[in-house]
Amino acid sequence: MCGFVGFTNRIKDDGTVLEGMMNKIIHRGPDSSGQFVSDQVNLGFRRLSIIDLADGDQPMYNEDGSLVLVFNGEIYNFLDLREELVEKGHTFKTRSDSETLLHGFEEWGTSLVERLRGMYAFVIFNKNDNSLFGARDIFGIKPFYYANMNGSFMFGSEIKSFLVHPDFKKELNEEVLAHYLSFQYSPTEETFFKDVFKLPPAHYFTYKDGKMEKVRYFRPEFKAEQGVLDYYADLVDKTLRESVKAHKIADVEVGSFLSSGIDSSYIAEAANVDKTFTVGFVSENDRYNEIHFAKEFAKTIGVENIAKEISPEEYWSNFPKIQYQMDEPLADPAAIALYFVSNLASQYVKVVMSGEGADELFGGYRIYQEPITLTAYDKIPFFIRRILSKIAEFLPKKHGINYIIRRGKTIEERFIGNAYIFTEKERKALLKVGKNAPAPKILCAKFYDEVKDYDTITKMQYLDINMWLMGDILLKADKTSMANSLELRVPFLDKKVLELAVKIPTDCRVNTKTTKLALRKAAEKTLPKRTAEKDKLGFPVPIRVWLKEDGYYNVVKEAFLSETAEKYFDTSALVSLLDRHKNGIEDVSRKIWTVYTFLVWHKEYFEN
C-alpha cells in the first residue's frame, strides 16, 4: 500500500516541488520513497512495504526502461498473471505484484485492467510516445484525483499533495456544497476543490498531448438466477473464504477489524488472524460500545482482541485533523471511529482486513426492506398517495409524516442512498450559495437508468454500489487507514465475490424479517447464531447524545455563528436546528453534524 503524485509540464525547481508533494502524503508510505523526473513528466512515490520488501520499490521500470510505473494497491491474482506472462516470454526482476502491471501493459495494453483482481490506482508513463495510462479498480477502493491547471496535468492519491504545486489554484467549488448537504459526501466526479476531479471507479484513462480520454471498462450486472437459500449460502461461504485467502497474501503480519456484527466477524474467522481490533465509546449506553461483544466473539474463535475506549474529548479534539486527512468533508460520524481503530491496529500490524462492501453486495441495509414491507396504506392507489405526499411536504415533520411523503414517491425519487440529510427544499432555505445545484435525484438518475428494468431492491443496491460505497464507505476506509500508515483490505469487494453476489435471487438477499439472507446463512456454518443474526452497528458514535451536552453544544454553536458560516449559510437557521435538537424537539443531529463537518474541514483547508 502506497501513495503517488505526479505532474506534466516542466516547471522551475520541479524536483523540489515533487518532493514537497510527496511529503504531503508521507503517511501513505513511510518506509521508502522514489522519484522519476524528466522533461515530460514527474512521478513521486511513497511506499508502505507489504510484498517483496527488498525489491518492490517504485517508480518501477520495465526491461528497457521505456515504461515507468507508480502504483497504489494490491493485485491479488498477480501470481496467475505472472505465470501467464512468463510463458509469453516476459522476464521478471522482482517478486512484487507491481511488476505484473508493467509486463501486463506491454502484453495486453489497455485491456490489462480487464484481467486484474484487486484494489488499485496506478499510472504508467510510456517514454516512447510520451503518453500516460492510468486506471482505478472496479469498486473505487483506492483513490485517484487529477487536475489540469495552467498547462500542468496533476494527479495523485490525495488532493492535499496538489497544494504544493505552483500552478495549483485553491478555490472552493461552491456547487458541491449543495450536493454534500444532501448526501453527506461529495457524490460527483467533481470535488470540493474547483477543477479537481475524481477518476470514477472502473475507469481507465489515457493522457497525451494535453488531452485526457476516460473509458469505463467494467459495469456490475445483476443477473439473478433460480435457486434455494442453502445453495447460495454454500457458494457464499466457499467464495468468500477463497477471497480471504487471496487477500491474506503478504510478507508482513495481517490482522482484522472486529465489531460485533456479522461482516467483520465472518472475515476475522475466515482469515484466521492472530489479532483483531475494536473500538468503542465511553458511554453509559452499550449501544455505543461493542467491545464486550467483540471480545466475547474473539474468545470463541481463539484470537486476541485488542480494544480501546474513545472518550468524547479524544473524538472532538482529533476531529479537525481527521477531516484534513479526508481531503473533502465527510459527515459520516463512523469515520472518526475508523480512524481510531486504524491507529490502534497500526501499533501492531501493517495490514488489516475489514468488512466493507458486504451490505451493498448482499443486501444488508434495513432500508432495502422498505419496498417489500407493505401496510394497509400501500393499498391506496399510487396517484392518491402521490397527492397526499405532496400535501404532507408542507406539514410539520412529526411522526408518520415522512412515511406519507416517501410512500407517495417512486424509488428513483425518494432513495439517493443510505444518507439523505437535507432535501432540495431544505438546503435551498439554508444555503446562500449553490442554490441552483441539481436536485439529488438528478445525480442518481444515470445509475437508475442503467437498471430501469430491475426490481426495486436491486435498483437500490446498484445505486449504493456506484455512489454510496465509493463516496462514503471506501473514502473513509482508505483515508483513515492510510493516515495511520495501515493497509486496509476488503475481501467482500472482490471481483469473484461480486460475480456470485449478482446471481443471488432477491429473496435470498432480503425479506421482510431480515437482510443479507445468503450471507447470514453462510455465516451460521462457523459463527455463533447470535453473531450471524445480529443487526448491523459498525462502531456506532453517540453524536446525538453529545450535541445535547452544554460543552459540545457551545462548540458547534460557535462554529455556526462564525464568519465562514455567515458566508455560506443562514446562521439563524443553523442555530435553530441546534436548539431544536438540544431541547429534544426533534433529532436533527445528522443535519447538524453535516454542516459542522464542512465548517471544520473548511477551516483546515481555507483558513489555516
Supply the residues annotated as catalytic.
2
Helix/strand number for the chain, H first, E second: 26, 17
DSSP assignment string, 235-247: HHHHHHHHHHHHH
Q: Are 57 and 34 in contact (CB under 8 A)?
A: yes
CA end-to-end span of the chain, whole Å?
A: 30
Q: How far apart are CA 134 and CA 155, in angstroms?
A: 10
How far is Cα 213 from Cα 190, in angstroms, rounded to an integer?
16
Q: What CA–CA distances, in Å, run from 307 to 258, 291, 304, 353?
A: 9, 7, 10, 16
Contacts of 341 (CB under 8 A, 6+ apart): 257, 277, 278, 279, 308, 539
Q: Which strand ranges, in their side-by-side order, compose the sheet holding 275-281?
A: 304-310, 275-281, 254-257, 351-353, 487-489
Helical H runs in 415-504?
A: 424-430, 440-450, 456-466, 468, 474-482, 495-501
3-state secondary structure of 214: strand
| CA 181/CA 328 separation, integer angstroms | 13
Residue among 361, 356, 374, 363 at smallest CA distance from 457: 363
Beta strands, E only, 298-425? 304-310, 351-353
Could you identify the residue written with the cell 481555507?
A: 606
The one-letter amino acid at 25: I
- Contact 208/8 with Cβ under 8 angstroms? no
Task: Give the Cα separation of 126 and 68 in Å (integer).
Answer: 7
* Residue 535 DSSP code: P
Amino acid found at 383: F
